[in-house]
Amino acid sequence: MGRISSAAFARTVLAACVLAALARAGDASAETLALQNLADLSLEQLSNIEVTSVSGRAEPLQSAAASIYVITAEDIRRSAATSLPEVLRLAPNLQVAQSSAGAYAISARGFNNEIANKLLVLIDGRSIYSNLLSGVFWDANSVMLEDIERIEVISGPGGTIWGANAVNGVINVITREAAATQGTLVSVLRSVDGGREAVRWGGALGESGHIRLYGLRTERDNTRLASGAERLDDARRHQVGFRADLKGAVSQLTLQGDAYRGGDAPYSALAPRLSGGNLLARWTSRLADGSPYKLQAYYDRAERDETTQIRNQSTNVDLEFTHEPLMPAGHQLIWGAGYREGRDVDTPSTLVRMNPAERKLSWANLFAQHQMKLGQRWQLTLGAKAERNSYTGFELLPNARLAFQHSARGMSWVAASRAVRAPSRIDRDFFFPGNAPFVITGGPNFQSETADVLELGHRGQLGPSVSYSVTAFRQYYKGLRAGTGTLPTTIENQIEGPGQGLEAWAQWQATPAWRLSGGYTTLRKHLRFTSGAAADATSIPNLGNDPRQQWSLRSSLNLGARSEFDVMVRHVGALPSPAVPRYTAVDTRLAMRVSPALELSLLVQNLFDRRHVEFNAAGVASQIERKLYVKAVWQL
């Protein structure tokens, strides 16, 4: 795909102007269709937004005893982000690095690489990690940004509720109910480097239901090396989907699904051929005694062809049940069970072979978590999950949290947890290259990686205008992945050691029209080999390339009743191995509400930086360049 011509870009700007003219002529009653602006909420109201990812049930953010940051729909709208990974940069407790046009390395609390495997990611309760590597292929997972209600980002273990792989954190992307997305929305985003077009329609479904349909198209141009050579990682992607919500007196049925296809020929490891789809059904209701329960099932299929590397087909079926029994005052209990079955088929390539080529995997779990009040201000949470996987059998994931409510505006908490990263196919069945003699072989005895975690946190407010959160943590890892020092290198559990750090963020409502927010994280790891056997010296660097510190600042300013100016500054410290220099990036957004139905905005990424590297060695790394986008969102 060549670069988009300046003429094509000009046509996009012209189209936006035409939309503006049409919108001005439109019926002013479109004002009633505008979504509620979260900027109108006070910081205290934002602190009471309900979250579900910490305890598995709805609770106010202020009462959640975990290091959790919520990215709201308004945060997304007022950012220069154009994709889900870019939106995740808004969370100060995540490390997000772009490695090519469509690939990202995303993690919490370290161990960041393109196949990061200690972060569990969900979209509306559907886990999107790959059975192949226990990580996420970010180029294969997309969502219409305008449909997101909030993203709950937990840094730290969430295994008791969410199971294995929720070692260093959980990202839970939650989209709006269909009733909140009625009418028609058209969103167009263009630049000389690509863009995104999205169309959504929502309508009534009978007397008590609603439905939405959407289509999403994205395209990205090639990135370049420091030499100026193109990396040939350009690609197009098409996605369609729906969500339907049917509500009764005490029950609700949600049906939703997506289908996608991407990667034009000739495709490659940098721009693979992708296709897949999913279908989810969720039923929530109450038993005869009034206690709530949820039953969820989904089917997911994905295909990925990188030609010379991964050539994978996977199919997953997942069932989940949770129940909250009625308890005496001061007690809350949630328990549940789940089963997941996956079928993984891998075609040998030049560089990668899985042996066996096809494998059926299964995971089963049973969990319970009990919250109880101890007096007026203390709350104790005890929980555990027993999980069985095909490779290592049973694993136990316990959790204990003690919280103290200083006042309605302040809470401190301490937690101790055990988290597990269960083996995946890349640990047990991986062979490199695709044919003998092999240089790397999977470890038939590879066991789960574990982490024992201690956390101490405080969340509070200073008057009506300042809110903040601070968490200190220490995580001791055992059995981390390493290769032996002799050929062929065999994957074994040979690394252990602590990681500790601090996470902090705050928001300040400086004036009714101006909000400031900032975040800071620092991380130190001290890993070592556990046996006297020969080990590959690159094993520890291969676990992840992490900055010792990073910080971000955001400013959201209303320029009168119809215009907005938003700025985000993010600084990422140097990466050690391979060495990547520190960088500071500034993203801006200037927007105008042309009419109740139309919003136009100008987005600039890397405003003061022509290009920088975020991941990989300098000679082979993509240069992340300055980009300018024009965006139009028309809602009727």
Pair type for strands 440-441 and 489-511: parallel
Judged against a pLDDT cut of 50, whether residue 9 lies above it is answered with no
Q: What is the mean pLDDT of residues 64-86?
A: 96
Q: Are 73 and 145 in contact (CB under 8 A)?
A: no
CA distance 373 to 327: 12
CA distance 465 to 512: 10
Q: To 10 degrees, the CA torsion angle through 253, 174, 566, 607?
A: -130
206: left (phi over 0), alpha (psi -120 to 50) or beta: left
According to the CATH classification, is domain 6-635 in 2.40.50.100? no
Give the CA angle between residues 433, 434, 439 to the nearest 5°. 25
pLDDT tens readout for residues 453-488? 999 999 999 988 999 999 999 999 999 999 988 889
pLDDT tens readout for residues 316-367? 999 999 999 999 999 999 999 999 999 999 999 999 999 999 999 999 999 9
Alpha-carbon Rg for the chain in angstroms: 24
CA distance 67 to 322: 24
CA distance 347 to 213: 35
Judged against a pLDDT cut of 90, whether residue 55 lies above it is answered with no
Beta-ladder partners of 507: 467, 517
Model confidence, pTM: 0.93
pLDDT in the model for residue 508: 96
| Percent over 70 (pLDDT), the chain | 93
CA distance 491 to 283: 42
pLDDT in the model for residue 479: 95
CA 619, 621, 626, 628 torsion: positive or negative? positive
CA distance 102 to 521: 26
pLDDT-based confidence at residue 595 (cuts at 50, 70, 90): very high
Mean of the per-residue pLDDT values of the chain? 91
CA distance 332 to 385: 17
Cis peptide before 433 (omega within 30 of 0): yes
pLDDT-based confidence at residue 536 (cuts at 50, 70, 90): confident
Q: What is the mean pLDDT of residues 6-13?
A: 43
Beta-ladder partners of 334: 369
Beta-ladder partners of 430: 354
Q: Are 323 and 334 in contact (CB under 8 A)?
A: yes
Contact residues for 209 (Cβ-Cβ < 8 A; gap 6+) = 178, 244, 245, 246, 247
Q: Are 236 and 222 in contact (CB under 8 A)?
A: no
Q: To 10 degrees, the CA torsion angle through 465, 558, 605, 626?
A: -130
pLDDT-based confidence at residue 160 (cuts at 50, 70, 90): confident
Judged against a pLDDT cut of 60, whether residue 539 lies above it is answered with yes
CA distance 576 to 335: 43
pLDDT in the model for residue 21: 41
pLDDT in the model for residue 537: 85
Judged against a pLDDT cut of 50, whether residue 563 lies above it is answered with yes
pLDDT tens readout for residues 255-311? 999 999 998 777 888 999 999 999 999 999 999 999 999 999 999 999 999 999 999
pLDDT-based confidence at residue 41 (cuts at 50, 70, 90): low
Q: What is the DSSP letter of 634?
A: E
| Closest by Cα among 604, 547, 541 to 81 | 604
pLDDT-based confidence at residue 46 (cuts at 50, 70, 90): confident
- Write down the domain spans for the chain: 6-635
pLDDT in the model for residue 1: 41
